[in-house]
Structure 1
Amino acid sequence: MRNSLWFGIALAALTASPALAAGGNTATATGTATATVVAPLQITHTSGAALSFGMFTAGSGGTVSVSQAGAASVTGDIGLVTGGTVSADSFTISGGPSRTFTISTSTGNTVAMGGASRANMPLAVSAPTSGTLSSAGTFALNVGGTLTVAASQPAGSYTGTYTVTVTYQ
């Protein structure tokens, strides 16, 4: 009886062991793959918006700045003239809800006056360096900047462009 008990235990161990099945040289398991597609990041310029420095006199030079909130300030011998419109520029960023992103702006920008009296002024753009999209997937971006005005800068209307780039983190 004792031998038959040991024989039963040995037989159960052999048939229950997966390591011994099929010779014990091969095993297979199944893994899982996942993916998440996020809405593409987009930036749209607000229609009619512009970074506007208003009207000012150049005097012996200085700077004119517009904050991201749209407030003007000057340094040096610059005088703001009433009646000019001062405003920050405006963009809307959209993409995946609650996603973070970086913001960069072009450098070496200028505003220039065309015609026979060509002249320009350096433009440094001011924007936050990062942001987070809302739960609806949007972000309002305001851009300010600073103009460097030379002594006796020629009078006239100046225009220029700059770029804003947004990148998912």
Structure 2
Amino acid sequence: MKKFAVLAAVAAAFTSTSAFAQALDDNQAEGSATAEVVAPITLTHVVGAELAFGSFTAGTGGTVVVSQAGVGSVTGDVVHMSDSIESADEFDVAGDAGRQFSITTTPDVITHTDGTTTMSFVPSAPATGTLDVNGDANFAVGGTLTVGASQLAGDYAGTYLVEVAYN
């Protein structure tokens, strides 16, 4: 009987160990997942705003600079007229509150009303901005216009690209 009891104890030990091992081989736990949908960033040109280099004489050439604050200045032989009005352009940005964004501009040309004569300019915008608690921001764009020697007199106009993107 002793042998039978010892064998039964050994068999029970093997059976319970085997059952315990199976439970550890098949175990589950729950993970978690999250997502955040960010409001798209939008850029709108402020109605009535424009990058205006003002009125000037070309002389032997130079530049007209308009700061982001809308203040004009000249270099070289360019002279602003006394009634010249310069201004910076303006843009509104909307998107996800508190997010930072980058601003890029593309150099371009303005074209004389003759359709062929041009002057090149490089827009100047802040490099970055931050959307406020309402998801809004505003920024201004100045620029530098290159005026050639004896630039053709008359009216010039054109456009340029501004792009914003979340950082």
| Shorter-chain TM-score tier | 0.7 to 0.9
Provide the rounded CA distance (Å) in 2 between the counterparts of 1:115 and 1:23. Answer: 87
SS at match of 2:84: strand
Give the deviation of 1:37 after TM superposition: 1.2
In the alignment, does 2:78 pair up with 1:78? Answer: yes
Counterpart residue type for residue 125 of structure 1? P
Provide the rounded CA distance (Å) in 1 between the counterparts of 2:62 and 2:29. Answer: 71
Question: Counterpart of 1:135?
Answer: 133
Superposed, 1:85-100 pairs within 5 Å as 85-100=85-100
Give the deviation of 1:22 after TM superposition: 4.2
Give the deviation of 1:82 after TM superposition: 2.1
Greater radius of gyration (CA): 2
Question: Counterpart of 2:43?
Answer: 43
Encode CA deviations 1:126-151: one digit per residue, 9 max, x unaligned.
00111111111111110000100001
Provide the rounded CA distance (Å) in 2 between the counterparts of 1:94 and 1:20. Answer: 60
Question: Percent of pairs identical after alignment?
Answer: 48
Counterpart residue type for residue 125 of structure 2? A
State the number of aligned residues: 154
Provide the rounded CA distance (Å) in 1 between the counterparts of 2:62 and 2:141. Answer: 21
Larger relative strand fraction: 1
The partner residue of 1:125 within 123, 126, 134 is 123
In the alignment, does 2:114 pair up with 1:115? Answer: yes
Provide the rounded CA distance (Å) in 2 between the counterparts of 1:26 and 1:131. Answer: 53
Give the deviation of 1:114 after TM superposition: 2.7
Provide the rounded CA distance (Å) in 1 between the counterparts of 2:157 and 2:20. Answer: 81
Q: TM-score, normalised by structure 1?
A: 0.85
The partner residue of 2:161 within 160, 163, 168 is 163
RMSD: 2.1
Provide the rounded CA distance (Å) in 2 between the counterparts of 1:127 and 1:141. Answer: 8
Structure 2, unmatched stretches of 5+, are 1-8
Give the deviation of 1:48 after TM superposition: 0.7
Runs of 4+ in 1 over 4 A off after TM superposition: none
Counterpart residue type for residue 98 of structure 1? G
